[in-house]
Amino acid sequence: MRHPTDGVLRRLLDEPAGVAEADRRHVADCAQCLAALAATREDAALVGAALTAEADVDVPAAWARLSTAASASAAPVRAPAPVPARSARRGRFGELVRRPAAAALAFGVVLAGAGTAAANDWLPIFRTEEVAAIGLDSADLVALPDLEAYGTVEMTGDDDLRPVPDAATAEAESGLDVPEVDALPSGITGEPEYQVGGEVTATFTFDADRAAQAAAEAGETLPTPPAGLDGASVRLVAGPGVAQVWQSGSGAPGLIVGRAVAPSAFSSGIPFETVRDYLLSLPGLPQDVAAQLRTFTADGSTLPLPVPSDLVTTTTEDVDGEEATVLATRDRTLAAVVWVEDGEVTVVAGAFDTGEVLEVARGLR
């Protein structure tokens, strides 16, 4: 495969989700591309620092000036060139905002992390009882091992979210209670769109030959697979789920409240711990992350949520007696609360600060 372009490498820094999977895989295994990626990152950081300017402004004084000028506006004002309008993101530019879009997309990766991990990577035998964030540098995201190189990953089930007309239909089709929001945060009004997704199963079957070949191509030595692993499968089941999505004033989703049957996993023919420890030893997984994962999955009940720690902060809070993981982009443009209760995982996410999403989360009925 030819090397991805400079533009693709640049986007990988900001919007990894916008880069094709094949390109990400290539970059992760290509020393030349990793070097180019590092140089790209350096340039972006340097220019970003050079262009940084904090806009510490007196808004009331500026408004007085504008309203006076607009009211009196006899003098012609030079208009900027007509430009396409874009949807507004809720502005919180009071502090240094260097990469809000990058953070937003990384945030997408964060929330996708549960699913991605479930589908491709670590498949502990567990019944999710809680969610815990695992810190990653965003650069590590491209280095995470793709388990398709080590066997087959088969996804089955209804993995598309589809809109349904109302809460009653959503409940009927998902079998879940649709959480009711007590009070919408400011800026959010109207009725949500209801969406439903079905149960999804991901099955990973280890293939020793394929794994050895993949490791050799990457210049790595595959750790010796434990006896009985070849051909063994791990199966993870999650869903169904239901989501309510409110539009913000800009027309973009402003608040999302989702609930789904939490993932659980099963293995075939081999103790789970054996599979887990072997997968964790595969080349490409950062050792510190592997160590964290071992800790997190020791009791077989914690769903690891990979978080790009340079972009997202994580804390824990209490939501109605359950420990919840709170995620917030460092620029404070997005926040989410995720928790598990009675085998169901609930997420509240939106373009708000953590206090506001927690208020919504605690007000769910």
Partner 1 sequence: MPAFAVALPAGVITRIGGRDGVPVPDAPARGALRPDLDVVFRREYERVVSVAARVLGSRDQAEDVAQEVFLAFNRSSVPAGEAGGWLSVAAAHTALNLIRSGRRRASNEETAASAVPLAEPDVAEVVVTLEERSRVRAALARLPHKQAVALVLRHSGLSYAEVAAALDLSPGSVGTTVRRAESALRKELTRHASSH
Binding to partner 1 in span 268-307, by CB under 8 A: none
Which of the ranges 15-23, 135-143, 209-217, 316-324 carries the binding residues for partner 1, by CB under 8 A?
A: 15-23
For partner 1 (CB under 8 A), the number of binding residues is 114
**DSSP-assigned letter for residue 4:** P
Under the binding rule (CB under 8 A), the answer on residue 127 touching partner 1 is no
Read off φ and ψ for residue 67, nearest 5 degrees.
-65, -35
Q: HSE (CB half, 13 Å, CA atoms) of 208?
A: 11
From the CB of residue 220, how many other CB atoms can be counted at a distance below 10 Å? 13
Which of 22, 35, 38, 47 touches partner 1 (CB under 8 A)? 47
Read off φ and ψ for residue 288, nearest 5 degrees.
-70, -35
Under the binding rule (CB under 8 A), the answer on residue 33 touching partner 1 is no
Q: Which of 264, 236, 31, 9 is nearest to 119 (CA)?
A: 236
Q: Which of 266, 290, 270 is nearest to 226 (CA)?
A: 270
The interface with partner 1 within residues 134-173 (CB under 8 A) comprises 155, 159-161
The rounded distance, in Å, linking the Cα atoms of 329 and 105 is: 10
Which of 116, 205, 281, 301 touches partner 1 (CB under 8 A)? 116
Under the binding rule (CB under 8 A), the answer on residue 64 touching partner 1 is no
Under the binding rule (CB under 8 A), the answer on residue 219 touching partner 1 is no
The rounded distance, in Å, linking the Cα atoms of 357 and 185 is: 8
Mark 175-214 with x for binding to partner 1 (rule: CB under 8 A) and - for no binding.
Answer: --------------------x-x--x-x------------
The interface with partner 1 within residues 220-249 (CB under 8 A) comprises 238-239, 241, 243, 245, 248-249
The interface with partner 1 within residues 89-108 (CB under 8 A) comprises 89-91, 93-101, 104-105, 107-108
Nearer to partner 1, 105 or 132 (CB): 105
Per the document, the length of the chain is 365
